[in-house]
Amino acid sequence: MPIYEYRCDSCGFQKEHLQKMSDEPLTVCPSCNTGSYQKLLSAAGFQLKGTGWYATDFKGGSSTPAKAEPAAAPAGCGGACACHPG
């Protein structure tokens, strides 16, 4: 569930709330009980959970990344297209 940040225009109270995307926005300030509580526009945040394969997972070894293999030609292009520079 996303975390939304709200701020009251009346008293300046500010708080983050965990809500479903389908939930209606909050409008009543929990601090002063006025109807001027508004959702703020802020940078999206996310959490990486569980195991994963990250560049920071590798300790030591080569400091330069391995070169990627060229992509296979799409069926019918024959390698003479814009996706395969000569």
Q: List the chain domain ranges.
A: 1-41
Which of 2.20.28.10, 2.40.50.100, 1.20.1250.20, 3.40.640.10 is the CATH number of 1-41?
A: 2.20.28.10
Could you give the CA distance from residue 30 to residue 37 in angstroms, rounded to a whole number? 8
pTM strictly above 0.75: no
Residues in a beta bridge with 64? none
Strands across the sheet containing 14-18: 14-18, 3-8, 37-39
Q: Look up tokens 């990344």; give the residue.
A: 65
Could you give the CA distance from residue 36 to residue 41 in angstroms, rounded to a whole number? 15
Q: Look up tokens 């009346």; give the residue.
A: 10
pLDDT digits (tens, 9 = 90+) for 29-72: 999 999 999 999 876 666 666 676 666 666 665 555 556 555 55
Could you give the CA distance from residue 7 to residue 19 in angstroms, rounded to a whole number? 15
